Structure 1
Amino acid sequence: MDDKQVERILQNPKFKEMVSKKSTLSWTLTAIMLFVYVGFMLLVGYNKEFLHSSLSGGVTTWGIPLGLSIIVLSFLLCGVYSYIANNKLDQLNEDAMREVEAIAHEKGQN
């Protein structure tokens, strides 16, 4: 594949759309996770009394379910990414790959 073909692939609208959507999805989910995690760490650092307080008058404190919810959230976000990637991004990827293969086969025609 020569430089001209690579440039045509990079300028392909379907390829650009696929890259853009993948990037937006990845950064959005990353921002959500970072926001939640940093928020929890700030809570640990600046409001320990809240985390030490009892959830329902028993021995379970607020820190335990909050910490577990962060773990659950990470699994949910992975599921969200997988669902969107499998149902939306894969079709864009296939369309882009068809066009990329067509560009690659045109090598001798240009």
Structure 2
Amino acid sequence: MQPSTADPAHSPQFARLVRKRWGVSLTLTAFMLAVYYGFIAILAFRPDLFATRVGEHLTVGIPIGLGVIIVSWLATGIYVRWANDDYDTAVDNLKHAMRENRG
């Protein structure tokens, strides 16, 4: 049995929503992987860059490492805000359309 074209789960809106979710997720994942592995690569291949002293007891690596953590929090916040504002509303609209289609 083929799915009904009126079925919201097989609609262009649903497909667009799935593509958008994957796009946002993969973009943020790629960004975080680049930040994290960039930090690790610099640490592995050019540790002298992070060993530069900023003060008597602080090197450049410490604030940059803290920056990696803060960037991950910000990326998580961006995803949560997008999910709460855009994605959840679109999912609710599709659920409502599915309920209306059933009768």
Matched pairs, number: 103
Aligned CA RMSD, in angstroms, stands at: 2.1
Alignment map for 1:1-110 (pairs within 5 Å): 4=3, 8-55=7-54, 57-103=55-101, 105=102
With normalisation by structure 1, the TM-score equals 0.81
Residues 54 and 61 in structure 1, CA contact (< 8 A), matched pair in contact too: yes
Amino acid at match of 2:37: V
With normalisation by structure 2, the TM-score equals 0.86
Higher relative contact order (CA 8 A, sep 6+): 1
% identical aligned pairs: 30
Deviating beyond 2 angstroms after TM superposition, the runs of 4 or more aligned structure 1 residues are: 2-5, 8-11, 99-103
- CA drift at 1:86: 0.8
Q: Which runs of 5+ in 2 are unaligned?
A: none
